[in-house]
Amino acid sequence: MREKFKSFYNKETVLDTCTIIDLQRLEILDLPLRVFSKVYITKNIIIEELEKDFSKQLIEIGYEPISLETEDGYGFLFQLDVDYKKLSTSDKIVIATAYERNIICCTNDSPARNACIENDITLTGTLGIICCAFENGIITRKELINLINRYDTGIEAHISYEVISQIRNLYKIPQSINTSDTPKTIL
């Protein structure tokens, strides 16, 4: 798994809304820009899902607006609409964009992740970005532990126990609980 995280470095990605919100809450909106060669955000997310000032901020720091451009991309979007009716339009566009450009789809949404897996689209999420940053020396072990603890207990992310446990086990990070604003480690 560590090699997989490491392999994301310097690749292109498209981020969905929930990932962007997680990154904002963790105060690491710049981290994907240090991990990936290009970070895209779909124009529909810019227009429909984020506040105008926030969208402008993302573009100013280096996130690049993107839209579907090819018949292949639009065809895949149509197929997603048929096969994955419960996915939001934004999720379908993000997945179709990743498919069209053969880039990493960054989503934390389980149904969107399942659609990526079923269609052989490379994917990661907020934790993958953090772990890739650590694996490639962009953040320190202390920063990794801090971000994992904050992500797990402090930002209201909807992450499954199994996923966070895998990451904690992989990096030997003790379980923490949040009884206040500062995570505390259980020894």
What pLDDT shows up at residue 185?
33
Last-in-domain residue among 78, 98, 126: 126
Compute the residue count for the chain.
Answer: 187
Instruction: Domain of residue 96: give its range.
Output: 2-126
Work out how many domains the chain is built from and give that number.
Answer: 2
119, 153: one domain: no
28, 66: one domain: yes
95, 116: one domain: yes
Average pLDDT, the chain: 91
3-state secondary structure of 123: strand
Q: Kindly state the average pLDDT of the residues 105-114.
A: 94
68, 109: one domain: yes
What pLDDT shows up at residue 152?
84
Q: Kindly state the average pLDDT of the residues 79-93.
A: 97
pLDDT tens column, 137-176? 999 999 999 999 998 887 666 677 788 899 999 999 988 6
What pLDDT shows up at residue 161?
79
104, 142: one domain: no
Q: Would you say 13 and 62 are in contact if contact means Cβ atoms under 8 Å apart?
A: no
With 60 as the cut, is the pLDDT of residue 46 above it?
yes
Of the candidates 125, 141, 162, the one whose C-alpha atom is nearest the C-alpha of residue 4 is 125
Q: Would you say 51 and 134 are in contact if contact means Cβ atoms under 8 Å apart?
A: no
83, 173: one domain: no
pLDDT > 90: percent of the chain: 84
116, 174: one domain: no
With 60 as the cut, is the pLDDT of residue 82 above it?
yes
29, 109: one domain: yes
10, 75: one domain: yes
Angle at CA of residue 127, ends 119 and 164, nearest 5°: 100
6, 79: one domain: yes
What pLDDT shows up at residue 80?
98
What pLDDT shows up at residue 74?
98
pLDDT tens column, 51-71? 999 999 999 999 999 999 999
103, 164: one domain: no
Half-sphere exposure of 160 (CA within 13 A, CB side): 7
Distances (CA, A) of 131 to 1, 16, 53, 84: 10, 18, 29, 29
In a domain, 133, yes or no: no
pTM: 0.90
pLDDT > 70: percent of the chain: 91
CATH number of residue 70's parent domain: 3.40.50.1010
Helix/strand number for the chain, H first, E second: 11, 7
DSSP 65: E
Distances (CA, A) of 41 to 96, 105, 183: 12, 11, 31
94, 176: one domain: no
